[in-house]
Structure 1
């Protein structure tokens, strides 16, 4: 057995321990960052009913952001106790932990998504018993997608909210701003995303690439 396999084996044991501790409302999944196909990064998952995902499903927004950051040579850090939600509106308390292999390269992501909806709904009646769960933080990682196509749709929607206008009313600079958000979120790592994004913003592929270059120049 290779050392990477031993690392995955250890993560699986940890995943089972976390899921056993918190119960069936706690999803634990492992993403393989070396997967060549972004639609199939989940190499292990427990309690997938929480988000509706299963073994072999694709990357989340935070996985895309991590891959984009690593591509740029940037450092990444763990995200602990942030808020996300499912497609049917349930509130999750999520944590994302990045793990390196023996060479020092980031290889796996351990994701924890604990369904807190019942606790939040009962908070008013049980305020003296249940610890108050912060619900005012910005939902920075949004909905957990069921597919990479859903993820791209979510990212495009967030880029529109960032600008505050529909594409038909956006100026060139505002479209560049939206494209910059999509670039930094790793949207262009998704296969054929350029076709969908250029069509959505009503621009040609040539113009899209020009906007991407301008967005990169802002970050330099």
Structure 2
């Protein structure tokens, strides 16, 4: 199925032009999920890692649904309209996705200018930042930083409740579905691998319905 979709990737990107990027993902390989890409909006490359959007899909498992026409923003400030269409095997299990990203930065600027000229401009809602990285380490780092909530906030400054909440948040975002994720998080926080596993285990014990079998968090 992935091979059959390669021409579709090129075709969609060619149809919508240089502001469009199409990415084909194999979610069975989170750290190198990109198997085909056409166009350049988020800087993806074949062999690159999945983004935090894909990690959220992993966290939801087979209950995940297509996410169409959502807006996000890259770390560089590019505003992107995206659609993530999931790929399922005959048993209904999610194994990949076809993602379309369109750079709408120029369009939104023109819209704001016309609104200002017409006197109808409104303050736009804040668009969330999404980390698109070709290595999974950068994606995990960004999610850890976001879970710490405040710039410069450190692990040492958190009490036990906040530490468990941090691990629970990372787990809900699919971080621990990635191979070596516990080691990456431990290194980022400056704690031991054993401590990271301990906090992850305790956070899951406090979360009913956590699917431990499908995630990495058991040493």
C-alpha displacement at 1:109, in angstroms? 0.2
Cross-structure match for 1:153: 141
Judge which range, 189-198 or 120-129, deviates more.
120-129
From 51, 57, 63, the counterpart of 1:60: 51
Deviations 1:72-127 (A, max 9, x none): xx511111122222232211111111121233222320111110111122223234
C-alpha displacement at 1:28, in angstroms? 0.6
Equivalent pairs, count: 205
> Are 2:133 and 1:123 aligned?
no
Q: Which runs of 5+ in 1 are unaligned?
A: none
d(CA) in 1 for partners of 2:135, 2:112: 35
CA 1:150–1:164: 2 relative to 1, 3 Å: closer
CA 1:88–1:163: 2 relative to 1, 3 Å: closer
Large movers: runs of 4+ above 6 Å: none
**TM-score normalised to structure 1 length:** 0.80
Whether the 8 Å CA contact 1:175–1:201 is kept in 2: the answer is no
Cross-structure match for 1:169: 157
d(CA) in 1 for partners of 2:108, 2:167: 36
Cross-structure match for 2:215: none
Instruction: Give 3-state SS (helix, strand or coil) of 1:92's partner.
Output: strand
> Are 2:33 and 1:41 aligned?
yes
Q: Which runs of 5+ in 2 are unaligned?
A: 209-219
**TM-score normalised to structure 2 length:** 0.81
d(CA) in 2 for partners of 1:79, 1:185: 15
CA 1:102–1:189: 2 relative to 1, 3 Å: closer
Whether the 8 Å CA contact 2:82–2:102 is kept in 1: the answer is yes
C-alpha displacement at 1:165, in angstroms? 4.3
Whether the 8 Å CA contact 1:15–1:29 is kept in 2: the answer is yes
